[in-house]
Amino acid sequence: MSKKTYRRSEAGQILPLMAIFMLAIISLVGLTIDVGRVVSERTKLVRAVDAAALAGALKLPDTSAALTAANAYLAENEPTATLSSSPGSNQIQVSATKNVSLLFGKVFALLPGASGLTGWDISASATAGYGIVPMDAYMAIDDTGSMSGSPITNAKQAATNFTNTLLTGSSSSVTKVGAGGARGCYNPPRTYSGCESVSTKVHNLTNVASQVISTINNLDGSGGSGTNVCINLYKGNEILFGTGAQTGSNVIKVMVVLTDGDNNYNSNSYSASQGSPPSACTPTNPTTQDSTSTCSSTAGAHEKSLDTKTKAYADTLKAAGVQIYVVGFGVCGTNSTSQYPTASYCANIGNNDGDSIADRRLLKCIASSTSGTNDHYFEAASASALPNIFAQIAQQLAFRLIQ
């Protein structure tokens, strides 16, 4: 065989091998792209199934309505998925499957002895409901003079409904609720007559709804010692980690605070002759009261000091795993729904801004809102809106994703 003939033969053998090799490379690249699509589509399916389960759980114990809600949500967000649901009285399980069409998998059919992959089945499952995850929840309800009349009546109804939602049926075995009025001090440890009475207006955590509601009914908005939001958080911390509190590592700790955010206290609540208030919530020169009034355009020195301590104590609670929901009522100024508690926004707490800015800023910044949102801050435009707001929070807490 001549050298020329041999080279032709060799070239004839290499070219087919190169073609097969290139086809394999292209197929592998295509497979990588397809796998990425499958992962992305499964992430979307998981999110849709999670949301469908939560949507269904909100309709429980009506199992028919729960099934309808779950089906409707999934049909809107994943119309090609096949759904199966198993609703019960206190939880619903949602499972879904769908086929992801592959763009490059079919190329494998061109390889010797291979068959094409035209699609890939993916699945997801979620269970949502209530009374499964242990939770302790405490409500601090503004009980100062600004709440007298319709406001305190609506606040008591809101707190009662909240209690009944969380302590209904099987949820009471793993959920505990406490409630208390919120003013500028508590008796004990203070002895000032204007302080909130712990014996009649504060209740430790319990799974007996009637006991909590009895305490709620004692709230009267009768004035007293002004407002100290920090001390209200301090009392909530004592309740959440005190008598009757659940101690498991998976216990969810929640505090709901209803207030106008104006730290406008009565200096008598800090009198040294009537017991010492907690230093974490005592402003500078506490026995001297600010001369500024509610919704003042100027900031008092003591109020600024107390605002700073309130934010610091809220941060301590959050670090301990406490979720803080804040309901603002009667807050000075106008709410900007696009103003979120960013680091730069919250850094201004304690500056010279008046109540129309400072009060709402404090409330938004102590709430445990997700970054870029106000999802733990609610503002009531009127007293009549309070029951609905508390119902929203109760639903978020009671009906949650289990797995």
Mean pLDDT of 250-274: 88
pLDDT exceeds cutoff 50 at 235? yes
Tell me if 86 sits within 8 A of 52, measured CB to CB: no
Based on its alpha-carbon atoms, the radius of gyration of the chain, rounded to whole angstroms, reads 30
Q: How far apart are CA 195 and CA 144, in angstroms?
A: 10
Tens of pLDDT, residue by residue over 185-203, are 999 998 888 899 999 999 9
Residue 254 DSSP one-character state: E
pLDDT exceeds cutoff 60 at 116? no
Distances (CA, A) of 287 to 194, 223, 280: 15, 19, 16
Tell me what pLDDT residue 6 has: 47
Looking at the chain, the domain(s) classified CATH 3.40.50.410 span 135-401
Highest mean pLDDT of the ranges 181-195, 219-233, 359-373: 359-373
Quote the crossing angle between the two packed helices 209-216 and 150-166, to the nearest 10°. Answer: 170
| Range list of β-strands (E), 47-206 | 82-87, 91-101, 119-129, 135-142, 175-182, 186-187, 196-197, 202-206
Q: pLDDT above 90 covers what percent of the chain?
A: 49
Tell me what pLDDT residue 11 has: 52
Instruction: Please state the separation of Cα 230 from the chain's center in Å.
Output: 20
Residue 76 DSSP one-character state: H
pLDDT exceeds cutoff 90 at 256? yes
Q: How far apart are CA 176 and CA 48, in angstroms?
A: 31
pLDDT exceeds cutoff 50 at 216? yes
pTM metric for this prediction: 0.78
pLDDT exceeds cutoff 80 at 64? yes
Tens of pLDDT, residue by residue over 140-189, are 999 999 899 999 999 999 999 999 988 875 556 789 999 999 999 999 99
- Residue 375, classed as helix, strand or coil, is coil
215: CB partners within 8 A, 6+ apart: 179, 180, 200, 201, 202, 203
Count other C-beta atoms under 10 Å from residue 61's C-beta: 14
CATH class of the 135-401 domain in this structure: alpha beta
Distances (CA, A) of 266 to 89, 142, 376, 391: 49, 15, 29, 32
Mean pLDDT of 335-353: 95
Which is higher by pLDDT, 87 or 156?
156
Mean pLDDT of 390-403: 82
